Structure formats: structure tokens, C-alpha cells
Amino acid sequence: MSLVNPDLSIERSGVSFPIEELTHFIFGGPEATKKKRWLISLLDVNKNPVFTNKDNYFISRDKYYVRTLEKMKKLIQIKKQYNIDEDDWKFLLLSTGEPMLPTMHDLLFVSTIEGQMSREQSEKWLPLAKDYAIFGCYAQTELGHGSNIRRLETTATYIHETDEFDIHSPTLTSIKWWPGGLATSTHAIVFARLIIDGKDYGVHSFVVQLRGENHKPLPGIDIGDIGPKFGFNNIDNGFLRFTHVRIPRDQMCMKFSKVSRDGRYLTSSNAKVVYGTLIIGRIYVVERTSFSLASALCIAIRYSLVRKQGNDTKHDPNESIVLDYQFLQYRLFNGLSVVYTFLFVGKWLRNLYKINEKKIREGDVSIMADIHSISSGLKALCADLAMGVLNDIILACGGHGYSRFSGIPSIVDNYARSPIVEGDSTILQLQTGRYLIKVFENAKNGRPTPATLSYLKDYLRILSERSKVTTWEELTDPNEQIKALTHYHTRLLAKLISNLEETSKTHLQGYEGAKSDYMIDIINVSRAYCYTIIITSANEGLESIKLTYSNIYPTLRILINLFFSNFIIKYSGEFLLDNYFNSNQIKIFELGIKNCLEKIRPNAIGLIDAWEFSDNTLNSALGRYDGNVYEALYNWAKLEPLNLAQERGEYVGYNEVLKDIYNREYLKGINKSKL
């Protein structure tokens, strides 16, 4: 093992809190930490070389895909050998450091079986799927339609004579496009329009076998890979076209809607639960955001602590550690505030989902619309904020960050899908905003509102409130934070409703038509609500661990205060507009942000070391635990195939092209002495 860069050793010795305690918080406690470390040890490349990521930057896409399959095979063996549960399995897949095919299978295919199939159907399909005897994908998006699920074109026509569904792609735009894991999958959950006797009953889900014994596509199925992508290039996103493919009637997912033998369509009042799988996917994006950002910040902060450049004084001959520059702290520490704030949000959202699942099992779908709205809006906002953090990280790492050896491009490329996967962020925010309009109208008229929006019943009092506190400590008090966000969100929502009501008086399409004129405002209302959820859940989550994790509480408090303060400064115009805050209070927030940066600086290394990313997971020359950045960059460059060829005396491109361009006679004598 190489010696640790002395600059990093000094930084680690100066952390003010026990890093182990922060690790316990991240992983869920001492026992969970012990379990997570054991799981990470299973990926040790010395024990299992198949998990190495070292040459990922050099291999072709087809080899990269096969390498991923080899890893998947070993991972499944490990899961079965040690009987690893679902939560630990997700962590194990994340810890490989790259997208993994079982994630798509488990997250979408298995979840659909569990959530949308009847008990009899689940008893047939679930054991096969959980044992990986079959491998499935989620075929919803089409070439011509993505977020607008209601307009999907693939059809499933019931055939009375044979008791089958005819699955068909009637148009070019109805071809399924983007399903992850399609080349690997033997089966797919296919979303198609249910047609019975010429009547369209809307989009439903079906399980369709795609491949036979030797992985050959079945008759009527045209299937393939869609080609190189921005990221996820080890994952086989594909296309899928059906030409009158017959499946048995009982392969329609029939937990909430079904078709009888005589062709009668039967549905329950809970039919909207079929979209529950989308909620799972959106929650996963929120949860994974902290992990992705933490890994990128781990690279950037470690690099920024060993990189030296310039200095602030004329008298100091030594160059400064770049993380000592305030502007770089601002870029990276704001990212840290997002990581830890989202960590609380992810835990809160997962708990809300579990509550909803329990209610659904009891036949209660009362909070289904609420969790759909929250997960949609949070997924969109979290992905948007995360992309901003990743852009700051790119800029913070300078030229070396542009190298794929930094590991940053891979993280950015793979995360960049988040604003569009599982629903386009703009569409999701519009859905959330429209839901909020409906809830506010109910609140104004004395009708029931969901618990998460119960404060809207008291909207007149909220709108009349103004902040009266005058110190940093008072301004960042958890209750004051929540009050500020609640006021901000309620004011934007009330203003939107007022504008809609006024515009609808002259709009040709009335109130509903007026909404198209206020799309930007609807999105802003959605974002304001989600910021309110974020600040509320983060503060409540932090206060709940104050005693258990007392040593790390002060640092986490600073991070959440920083997140909140950045929000206030970003939208200070809105707060000043209605005098909720005055200019003196805004100045306090500006100074407070700088003070937060100073307090975070000594603990920066601890805040990212606590995640315990292995060097193989990060796959970064800049983010190595030992900090030997420059040695790693040079050694990795030596592995470039162009350089390996040169070491063998082969000069790629010379015989083919360059020898006909260069003046070889001139080059032959250029270094000879003239004496």
C-alpha cells in the first residue's frame, strides 16, 4: 500500500468530529456500518478481480457490456451464497461504482410483479424473477412518447377465440425505445393500450416473453440496442417492436384491473396504483443523488487538498492549497450541503413510501396522490440541483477534471439521465404544481387536505406573517427556516391562483385553459413546495438524531443552515418583494454563508471520507485515498493503448498516414550536431 500524501494526513488529523460516528449516521448505525463494510469487502478486486474498474476507460463498448455481465453473474452468486437482503443488495450494486443491470430488473420488473400482479400471478412470476431464472426490463417509453403515458400507442387486443392478447406496434413511433437491460432480458413488462371489441380501455401492463432457450428473439419480436449514449454505456438500452405477438390472457397484470374469459373488463377503484412503479423509480433517483454527489465531491475535495496553486501574499514562497480559496470552498461546500440535506430527504421519502405501501395493502389509497406529487416534484428538483453541483465540481477540478481518469466525467455522464429518466423534470413539476392548485382550492373551501399540506388551511395567517428575528442564530433556527419556506411557497401558490382566476374570466378555455399561460409559475410553485419539503424533512430529521449523534450534530447543522441560506440568497428578491425579510436580514445571510464555509473547511475531508468509498468504486486518479494524484495520472496514462503500442515499437497512424505528411529527411538530421 502506498504512503498517504502528507497534506491529506494533516487534514485528516484536524477533523473536529469522530469520522466513524458520521459513517454510522450515513449507513444507519454501528451494526449497519459493520454490515456495509463486509459488503464492500466482497467487491475487493484482490479477492474477486472481476470487479476491477481499472481498464474501463480503455475497453470497447461491447467488451464493457460483457464485463458488466461478468460482474452481474458474480454479484448474483454472492447474493445467493450469503442470502443478502434487498437493502444490502442495493448498496452492493451501488458500491461497484458503475451502473448495474440487476438494478433495472429489481427496481422496475420485480417491483411491478409485486405491485401490479394478483396473488396467483405473483406466485408464478416472483420466484422466477427473484432467482434471476428470468431477467426482465420495463418497456414503457416509446419512440414517439415518453412522459405522456396516456398517449402510448402499443396495443394489446383481446382475442376471444384463443383467450389471448395480441401485442402489436402499429406505428413507427410505437416502437418501445430506451428500456434498460433489453439485450439481457428474457421478459419485459410492456405498457400497451387494452383493446376489447374495438373499445380502448387505456394503458395497462403485461408481461411478455422476448427470447427463447438460446436467447434468440421469439417470432414477431424485433429487438436491438439503440446505440451509444451520453452515459450508461455498459447498459443495453434498446428498442422493441412487436408484430402481432400472442400472449395468454393471464399475462396481463391483474391486481387492480383484469379481463375475464368472456372479454369483460373489470377494474377496481385503486387502478391508479399501477403507476406505483414510477414512484419507486423517482424515489430511487432522490436516494441515489446523495451517493452520486458524495462520490464526485470525494474526488474533488481530496484533489483540492493536494493541489497547490498561487498564493495570497507576496512574501510567502509556497503555493496555497486550492481549497483554501474562498471561491472554491463556495463551489464545493455548497455541494456538501446538498449531499447531507438530501440524505435526510431520501430517508424521509422512503419512510413515506413505506407508509403508503402499508395503506395500499389495507385497501387505503388516501395518500397515493400526495406521494405521487411529492416524489415527482422532489425527483425533478433534486436532479436539477444535483446537475448544478456536478457542474461546480467540474469547474473546481480544472484541467485534470476534464480527463476521464479523474472519474468525474463518468459520474456526470451517468447521472445526467436523472432529469429525464422516470419522467421528464418539466412534466413532473407541472404535475406537482397542478396538484397543489387543486389542494389549495380545497383548503380555501374547507375541504380535506393531505397532512403534508395541512398548513394551507391557515393560508391567510401565513401570508400575513413577516420575519421579526435579527440574528444569525435566530434566522437559522429550524422553526424559522420552516416558517420562511412555508410563507414563500404559500405566497407563490396564492398569487398563482389569483392570476388564474383573473385570466380565466377572459380566456376562451376558462380556468383550465388559463393554466397554459402560467406554466412557468406552476413550475415555480412546484419547486417552492419541494424546497419546503426538503427544509422541513432535513430539519426534523437532524433534530431527531441530536442526542444519538451529538458529536456530528453541529457540523450537520452548519450544512443544513448553509443549504437554507443559499436558498434565501438565491430567491432574496421574492422575500424582499413582500417584506418577509428586510435588507439587513439578507446581509446577515450573506455573511452567514461565508462563516459556514470557514467552519466547514477543517472538516471537509472528514465529510467525504465518512462515506468510505473504495478507490475501485471511485475509479479516479484524482480522488485516491492516499492523495498521490500526479503519480496516478502518469501511471494511468502509460496504460493508454496508444502508449502501449509505442512501447512495442508500433506507432499508431504513422505507416497509415503520417509518413506521407512529414518531411522525413528533415527529421532524420534535425538532432545531429553541426560541430
The residue-averaged pLDDT of 353-382 equals 89
H or E element that contains 284? helix 276-306
Which one of the listed residues 422, 465, 574, 665 is annotated catalytic?
422
Q: Please give the grid coordinates belonging to residue 638.
A: 502509460
pLDDT score, position 47: 93
pLDDT digits (tens, 9 = 90+) for 476-534: 999 999 999 999 999 999 999 999 999 998 888 888 888 999 999 999 999 999 999 99
Which whole-number Å values give the CA distances from 475 to 157, 434, 570, 588, in the listed order?
Answer: 61, 31, 16, 9
Distance CA 409, CA 402 (A): 7
Query: What value does the mean pLDDT of the chain take?
Result: 93
Cell (9 digits) for 117:
400482479
Q: What is the DSSP letter of 579?
A: T
Quick one: what percent of the chain has pLDDT higher than 70?
Answer: 97
The answer to whether residue 422 is catalytic is yes
Rounded Cα distance between 562 and 219, Å, is 58
- Give residue 316's pLDDT: 65
Angle CA 67–225–211, to nearest 5: 85
Q: Which residue has the higher pLDDT, 619 or 146?
A: 619
Integer Cα distance of 193 and 168 in angstroms: 10
Inform me whether the pLDDT recorded for 114 exceeds 80.
Answer: yes
For CATH 1.20.140.10, the residue range(s) in the chain are: 1-43+274-637
Given a cut of 80, whether residue 147 has pLDDT beyond it is: no
Please tell me whether 180 is known to bind a ligand.
Answer: yes
Owner of C-alpha cell 455522464? 413
CA atoms of 514 and 512, how far apart (whole Å):
5
Helices 30-41 and 86-94, interaxial angle, to 10°? 50
**Do 433 and 376 contact (CB within 8 A), yes or no?**
no
pLDDT > 90 in the chain, percent: 82
Q: Is the pLDDT of residue 310 over 90?
A: no
Q: How do residues 555-575 score in pLDDT, each as one tens digit?
A: 999 999 999 999 999 999 999
pLDDT beyond 60 at 17: yes
**Position 22: which residue type?**
L
Q: List residues bridging with 366 in a β-sheet.
A: none
Residue 271 confidence (pLDDT)? 57
Cβ atoms of 101 and 623 closer than 8 Å: no
Q: Residue 374 is inside which H or E element, if any?
A: helix 368-396
* 586, amino acid identity: I
pLDDT digits 0-9 by tens, 260-297: 999 999 987 665 666 677 788 888 899 999 999 999 99
Select the more confidently predicted residue: 418 or 601. 601
Over 90: is that where the pLDDT of 422 sits? no
Residue 315 above 60 pLDDT?
no
Q: List Cα–Cα distances, 570 to 143, 436, 492, 575, in angstroms.
A: 38, 23, 15, 10
224 is in an annotated binding site: no
- Going by CATH, does the domain composed of 1-43+274-637 fall within 1.20.1440.120? no
Phi, psi of 258 (to 5 degrees): -155, 165
Of 187 and 317, which is predicted with more confidence? 187
Q: What is the mean pLDDT of residues 583-605?
A: 98
Give me the helix-helix angle, 19-27 and 30-41, nearest 10°.
Answer: 80
pTM of the model: 0.93
103 three-state secondary structure: helix
Handedness of CA 122, 124, 130, 135 (dihedral sign): negative
Q: Torsions phi, psi of 3, nearest 5?
A: -70, 145
Q: How many CB atoms lie within 10 A of CB 17?
A: 19
pLDDT digits (tens, 9 = 90+) for 464-481: 999 999 999 999 999 999
Residue 133's pLDDT band (cuts 50, 70, 90)? very high
134-273, CATH topology level = Butyryl-CoA Dehydrogenase, subunit A; domain 2 (2.40.110)
Q: CA of 659: how far to CAs of 87, 124, 493, 644, 652, in Å?
A: 58, 66, 69, 20, 11
Non-local (6+) Cβ contacts of 150 within 8 A are 202, 203
Residues 383 and 87: their CA atoms lie apart, in Å, by: 22
Give me the residue label for grid cell 481518469.
405
Helix (H, G, I), strand (E, B) or coil at 553: helix
Task: Specify whether the CB–CB gap between 226 and 240 falls below 8 A.
Answer: no
Residue 219 is predicted with a pLDDT of: 98
Q: What is the mean pLDDT of residues 114-126?
A: 95
Measured distance CA(425)–CA(42) in Å, rounded: 36
Tallying the residues shown for the chain, one arrives at 675
Residue intervals in the chain for CATH 2.40.110.10:
134-273
pLDDT digits (tens, 9 = 90+) for 207-244: 999 999 999 999 999 999 999 999 999 999 999 999 99
Examine the pLDDT at 326 and tell me if it is beyond 70.
Answer: yes
pLDDT at residue 364, as a whole number: 82
Residue 355 has pLDDT above 80, yes or no: yes
The pLDDT assigned to 668 comes to: 76
In a 10 Å sphere around its CB, with 0-12 CB exposed, 13-18 middle and 19+ buried, how is residue 398 labelled?
middle
Degrees, nearest 5: CA angle 91-334-620: 50
DSSP letter for 97, please. Answer: S
Distance between terminal CA atoms of the chain? 51
pLDDT given at position 346: 95
Inter-residue contact 477 to 471 (CB < 8 Å): no
The cell numbers describing 661, all together, are: 505528411
Cell output for 634? 502518469
